[in-house]
Amino acid sequence: MPVEKLVNDAVVRKIPIPGVKKTYIRKVMVKKGSTTVIQTPPEYKTITKTVLVKDARTEEVVVPAVYRSVTKQVLVKKGGLSSWKAVDCSLIENNPLPINCDFASAVLNEGAKTIIDARLLPILEDGVAVFIESHTDMRDTKKDNQDLSDRRAKTVTDYLISKGINPTQLYAKGFGETRLLNKCSDGVKCSEAEHAVNRRTTFRVVNQR
């Protein structure tokens, strides 16, 4: 086996290393610390609080009863439809009812009632049900326009009920300013005639009885 041997004995030598000089910065106290007494002026503030003036108590109040007549349909005898009536296909699409209301109004004038009598009443008297939709222009807030369109749709149904139409034949909904027919949206300047186009009521047949 190969063996490594030390040729000379080990020796120690002293080698001088040059010194390194460096500047250190430190903070020292020039004079002893001291304290000073400073008087702070008081601050005044009014504090409001709620206090109980007298002990809580309960009181019984008599609320008068509210009586209301409710009309409902009942089945007199069992049976089904004995016949079907033909309905014009165009009636299942939205048909305009030219009763444009005045701005911010849900009142039916005599002209509007005459149109309803001529266009819508005969269809309902034939035994079908209709969906009445009412719309507004974009003027006023969205919330107010939604409320206005709901009132316009209800005005039409209330008038039809007053003419003897069964409430179960009528479905009504207001759409506010969500279904404009022209460019007259928020920020667009339009004429009164253009706004009037969006103040409309339509109807469509939804089923037969």
Of these ranges, 92-101, 120-129, 200-209, the one predicted with the greatest mean pLDDT is 120-129
d(CA 96, CA 118): 13
Q: Which residues contact 101 (CB under 8 A, 6 or more apart)?
A: 107, 112, 152, 199, 201
Condensed to tens digits (0 to 9), the pLDDT of residues 39-52 reads 888 888 888 888 87
Range 74-104 burial, b when 16+ CB lie within 10 A, else e: eeeeeeeeeeeeeeeeeeeeebebebebeee
Condensed to tens digits (0 to 9), the pLDDT of residues 135-176 reads 988 888 999 999 999 999 999 999 999 999 999 889 999 999
Q: Which residues contact 149 (CB under 8 A, 6 or more apart)?
A: 134, 135, 136, 174, 175, 176
Q: Report the chain's mean pLDDT, rounded to a whole number.
A: 82
Which strands make up the sheet holding 201-208, listed edge to edge?
95-97, 201-208, 128-134, 170-174
Q: Domains of the chain: which residue ranges?
A: 92-208
pTM summary value: 0.54
pLDDT of the residue at 90: 65
Condensed to tens digits (0 to 9), the pLDDT of residues 13-26 reads 888 888 878 888 88
pLDDT of the residue at 80: 43
pLDDT of the residue at 23: 84
Q: Give the percent of the chain with pLDDT over 70.
A: 87
* Whole-Å CA distances, 193 to 79, 178, 190, 202: 51, 19, 8, 18
Q: Are 197 and 87 in contact (CB under 8 A)?
A: no
Condensed to tens digits (0 to 9), the pLDDT of residues 82-94 reads 445 555 666 777 8
d(CA 207, CA 123): 12
Architecture of domain 92-208: 2-Layer Sandwich (3.30)
Q: Report whether pLDDT(103) > 70.
A: no
User: Is 84 or 96 the better-scoring residue by pLDDT?
Assistant: 96
